[in-house]
Each structure stands twice: as C-alpha cells, then as structure tokens.
Chain A
Amino acid sequence: MAIRYNIRMAGVGGQGVVTGSHIFSTAVINAGGESTIVPFYGSEKRMAPVESYVRVSNEPIYEIGEITFPHILMIFHPQCITHGKSYTNPFYYGLKQDGIVLINSNNPMTLEPDQAAELKDLNAKIYYLPATQMSLDVAGIDLATNMAMVGAIGAITGLSNLEACGTAVKDRFLGKGFVVSGGTAALDSVVERKFKKKAELIDKNLAVVKAGWDYAVDNGWTLGASSMSDQTDAKAKASA
C-alpha cells in the first residue's frame, strides 16, 4: 500500500521555507523513501509570500509540478493567514478532506468565521506548533523556525527519522550545496555568521528539529497506521 502525502509549505521570504522543504525531502530519501520538491518562484524577497511543494511516499513518484490539492498544509508564518501572504487564497485552498494544517503559532488563532466553517466542513485537523518560540528557546535565534517545522512534519508523516533529518541538515550546510537563489546564498552566510561556527550551527539546528519532532509526538499528531491514503481507500470502498 502506497503511503503518499502531498505537502504545501507556505511562509514568507527569509524563513527558509524552500530550505526546509529541501531538508525534509532529503531526510525522507535518506530514510529510504521517495520525495520530490517544487519551489514556487515568486518575488523571492524578505517577508513576501513563498511556497514550496513536497511530495513524500514509500513508492516512486511520477507526477510533477505544484500541488493544488495537498493532504498537509504547513503555514510557517501567521501573516500567511492574517495578511493574505499566500499564493493560494484562502490559505487552505485545495486542502483535501480530513487534511492537516500545521501552523507556526504559539496559540490557537482566531480564524475568520467563514474560513473556520469551511475548514470544519473539510474535517481538517489544525495543529499549532510554536516553531519560532522553539527556535528562540533552543537555538537562541528565530532563524531555525523552519527546523522546528521540519521536525514536526517528519514526526507527523512517519516517512523519515531523526537520524535521516540530521544527515539532511548536515548535507545542506556541509555538502555540495543546494543553492536555490542568490538571496538564499546570502542568507546562508548571515546564518553562518550568527552561529559563529558551522558545527555549532548544525548542532543547534538539529536540537530544534528534535524539539519540533518531540512536540508533534507528545501531542499525538503522528499519523501512524491511520494514514490518509488508507482513509481515501476506506472511503472509496464505502462508496463502491
């Protein structure tokens, strides 16, 4: 049985949404799974909307392109919702029935009534992860927000493990390099300077990944046996 999650990651420029998607994708591959990523090329500037799409599975992935109908939606910045900083509006557009929304926020957000109602109709599970707070608490700066999100999605999907995530983070900062754009390269050097040493950077990032992972496990967000593809299957059988 194929396990398949199509994940849309939305955030704002500078948060490392594309970097996070790359690290998570690599982590799934490192753990023996299959994954592809597609970043959406928009204005690519700080605080402007950014989207990246990740497909993860335990079987080969053939299809390409942006993900219009995700199983899982990750919101890296509350402004994607409050300021409409998202290429897909409303932010949950296309979310599949019984889908998951993982939002970086310390507290549950008050959504607009019609949006809340639509999400309820979709039977969407909305999880709030204090990712930026975790980054500040564990790494001392907010730039590892994406690592907390990566940790949480790793735990939720169950197609990777912490060790594979660690290797992916190391690959990202020590390997040949995956340069998405000049802006990303410049930001990398800022991140490196802030952490003084690469080793420290990697350790701190991994600690944030683990914090996000543990938070997802502690809150019972992991999909485990009741994967969404099983639910699709059950629904199809019921309707057949």
Chain B
Amino acid sequence: MSGQTRHRLEAALFIAAAALPLALQAFGEDYYIGFATRLLIFALAATGLNFIVGYGGMVAFGHAAFFGIGAYTVALLMAAGLFTAWIAWPVAVAAAALAALLIGAVSLRTRGVYFIMITLAFAQMIYYSVISLKFAGGDDGLSLEQRSTLVPFDLADPATLYWVTLVLLAACLAALKRLAASRYGHALTGLRQNETRMEALGYPVQQIKLVCFVIGSSVAGLAGALLANQNGMASPSQLYWTQSGMLLVMVILGGVGQRFGGMLGAITLLGLEEILGRLTEYSHFYVGIALLGVVLFAPRGLAGLWGRQK
C-alpha cells in the first residue's frame, strides 16, 4: 500500500468514525454511542501501552496503574470542586507521567521477566493503596458529580464526548507516527534490536527507555481521565492487574509494534465481548479461542495482516 493510499484510507476511516454517532442517533441506538466511546478510550490506553511494548521493547504489566491514576485524578479534583477539563485532564496526564517517571526509574534497572514482575508489583501497590484510602472511596470507587466541563463543548452530550475522544485518539496516533520517524524513534528502533550496540555507540539507553515508558503511560493517564467521564466514576477495578492484562491482550491481538495495533486490538476484544456476551454466558471462552487463533496464525497481530505500517 503506498503512502498516499494509506493516507486516504486513514482519512476515510476518521470521517466514518466521526459520522458514527449521527448514524446511531438516526437508528435510535443511542446506547451504542457510549459503547463506541468506551472502545475509543480503551484504544487510546492500548495505543499508549503498545508504544512501550512494541516500540520500546519493554513488556510492562502495570499499565492499569496509569490508566487508574488518570481516572482518580479527575474524580478527586472534581470532589475538591475543580470541574474544568482544561485543567483536570492535563493534571491527570501529568500525574500519570510523574508516577511513570518514579516507577520507571526503578523498574528499568531490571529487564525481561523481572521488569514484568516489578511493574506488576508497583501497579498492585497502587491498587491496594487506593482502595485503603477513605477519601478515594475505598472499594466503592469515587463517583463523579457530573462530567468534566470543556467549554465550549458540552460533554454531557454522549456524542460530544465521543467526538472529543476520537479527536484525541487520532491526534495521538498521528503523533506516534511522527515520533517513530524522528531521531528519537530511530534510537528506539536501535534499542529494540541491539541494546548492547546502542550502549557502545554512546546512547543514554536508560534515559531513552524511561522517556518511552513515561510517554506511553501518560497516554494511559489521558485515557483514564476520559474513562472516568464516560463511566461517571473512577473505580478500583480500573487499577487492578486484570486490567493491565486485558490491555496487554489488546496489544498482542492487534499487533505489537504496529501503529494501529492497540486500536484494532481494543475494538476487536471489546467488540467480541459485547457481541458474544449477548449470545452466550461463556463469552470469555470464545474470546480466548479467538486470541489463540490470532497468536497462532497471525503472530504479528490483526494489524499485521494487511501489510507493514509503522
């Protein structure tokens, strides 16, 4: 596929996605606008994780921590009386970035299985800390009084929240493309292929990896802020390790290191769960089989099926 064709295809996809709420409203299926928003939010979180796993070569098993931190930041700020998204969402991103900086600085001293375990451990520490905090709602989570205000947009309207999410996801994917082609992106590619060589060439390897970890985690923070708005609450389940696992499954399903991998994986996984959930009680069983199929027959994920794209 040539660059221009792909460009047009991406533009067409974006327009189709933007038109979706109008179509759903026309058919009176307003429920699905919220569902579609959820898909996009998870697509955003998984895209952030894919940057860490696929571009940075670090299998992080604690992505839920940053996802949850984003949600709780918005909920806590709202409980304190701050409603505007213009401040709350950037703060949510910054909080996730700061947590990633601290966790990453320690975790990146390890690699491989140890990195998986230590990121998981940190994420679980955050989970248990949050559920033991009274002012954060403990086990019940923290509900939002209303959605964030994003003057001049009205996020109480489901379609508006959908569009805002869509624009943020598209911007994030575009930035990712740009990032991959930059000097920094080249350095990441080198790092993934041969860390010893990069070290010998004098690259500040730890710093490059830490920056990657922080960028990917910040994206999760933004996704978390959006999910809190969509769900009307920040819930502990968002911080739990199963959430990290699910995000990793999305990335693997969609295609590790493929730019659209996180998005495709999130949409496929949540879509399958929704559809199968209506047909059978054992939806997880069939989702598992679908995942097995992808791992066996399309090791580069769904995005890998239609050509290389980075």
Tell me, yes or no, whether A binds B.
no
Q: Interface residues, chain B, CB within 8 Å of chain A?
A: none
